[in-house]
Chain A
Amino acid sequence: QAQLVESGGGVVQPGSSLRLSCAASGFTFSAYGIYWVRQAPGKGLEWVTAISYDARNEYYADSVKGRFTISRDNFKNTVYLQMNSLRPEDTAVYFCAKPPDSSSLRSGMDVWGQGTTVTVSS
């Protein structure tokens, strides 16, 4: 069945960079957009970014615009999240997720990874 596995989290200092990966299996990856969602400790869910199936369209929350970049490699079935100029408020568990419908990034998220933890602290 469809599966997403995140990796790349860690502890970094403010101002540092980190790249997260989201490896997909069990579905036609190249037909689906992918989201990143984060959850700060003890807080709610926050949508971060999304990329269309063909990488032509990228969308970002205002809180990360200009600092984070989403990309994908449809040959490796992987989506990346490049995070630059990290701030303490970026500390969170980062989840990647896919929509239920291959034709739209609007419908929601039916498959989620287990998450990877990013801690930004001096």
Chain B
Amino acid sequence: QSALTQPPSASGSPGQSVTISCTGTSSDVGGYAYVSWYQQHPGKAPKLMIYEVSKRPSGVPDRFSGSKSGNTASLTVSGLQGEDEADYYCASYAGIKYFYVFGTGTKVTVL
């Protein structure tokens, strides 16, 4: 099972929006409504930002939103803030055979 494909980097100025894509196949992203997104700061554990494509856990700002179209999921961060600078990973359930797969990761820089 190959990792989901994400752009290596993305950037935006404070207050702007940035959208990160996550491309898989019909066997993972496209086949299930179980895409999740994680934020990871250096040396820290990942933090869940979005699950089941577009649900936000309690405490996650509504500046973070998720969506999916076909085999590609997206995370949008609106109103960028300095603390949003981090690595972001998508992940998807991939069925009984492969079960779970992460994306390659995207480094978001706030200019």
Contact = CB atoms under 8 A, between A and B. Distances in A.
Interface of A: 35, 37, 44-47, 50, 59-62, 95, 100, 106-110, 112-115
B64 interface: no
Question: Interface SS of chain A: helix, strand, loop or mixed?
Answer: loop
Interface of B: 1, 3, 32, 34, 36, 38, 40, 45-48, 51-52, 57, 89, 91, 93, 96, 98-105
Q: Lowest 6 CB-CB distances: which A-B pairs, in order?
A: A108-B36, A108-B51, A112-B45, A47-B100, A106-B93, A59-B99
B100 A112 contact: no
B102 A47 contact: yes
Contacts of A44: 3, 89, 102-105
B99 A50 contact: yes
A108 B38 CA distance: 9
Given A44-B105, A100-B48, A107-B51, 8 more contacts: A37-B46, A45-B40, A47-B91, A47-B102, A95-B45, A108-B34, A110-B57, A112-B47
Contacts of A50: 99-100
Contacts of A110: 48, 51, 57
B99 to A, nearest CB: 4
Nearest to A110: B48
A60 B32 CA distance: 19
A44 B104 CA distance: 6
Contacts of A107: 34, 36, 51-52, 93
8 contacts: A44-B102, A45-B46, A46-B102, A61-B100, A62-B98, A106-B34, A107-B93, A110-B57
